[in-house]
Amino acid sequence: MRLPLFALLVAAFGLSLGHGPSVAHAQGAAAAQADASVSMEIVVLHGTNDGTGIDPKIGKMPELAKPPFSSYNSYKLLDRSKQTSSKASPSTLKLPNDRVLKVSLKDVVQPSKKGESKRYVISASIQKPGGSDFLPLLEVNAKAGETFFVAGQNHKGGVLVIGIKVNP
């Protein structure tokens, strides 16, 4: 199982997994924000080493030039979608390998200091056809406009890379 890769990818971009004091604070604010929803952009990329470079439709994504993503020299945009998610209504997206990505808003954490941005506690899971978990559950604490990645699924001679960005 490749779960450590998922945690590495999230940690590599300065995001925090849902552990420690930030979750306790998030849980305290949960009742007040039961109706909260968030808009997200989800991109599904296919990373390969076929030498074709980065698809211009992807746009600016400097993370692809840095490890661990730089181990692939080509990325093709397979899907880009806008989703809305809340605690009561997670968003789902069927992936090219027939697995299902499920993303939901767990909480909105208000800044504790002036000048800080609010953060969004997002959970993501990927299920195989038939409902068994490939990625059981990943919780990320992300700022608006910040992309976090879930990657590691083999697909057609390469790997699927899923970018999730919370929109302000």
4 pLDDT higher than 60:
no
Average pLDDT rounded to a whole number, residues 154-158: 91
Share of the chain above pLDDT 90, in %: 43
Provide the number of structural domains found in the chain: 1
As given in the structure block, the two tokens for residue 102 are 């499920």
Distance (Å, whole) CA 150 – CA 44: 10
pTM attached to this predicted model: 0.76
Residue 52 confidence (pLDDT) above 50: yes
Q: Which domain holds residue 62?
A: 3-167
Average pLDDT in the chain = 79
What does the alpha-carbon distance between residue 104 and residue 38 come to, in Å, rounded to a whole number?
Answer: 9
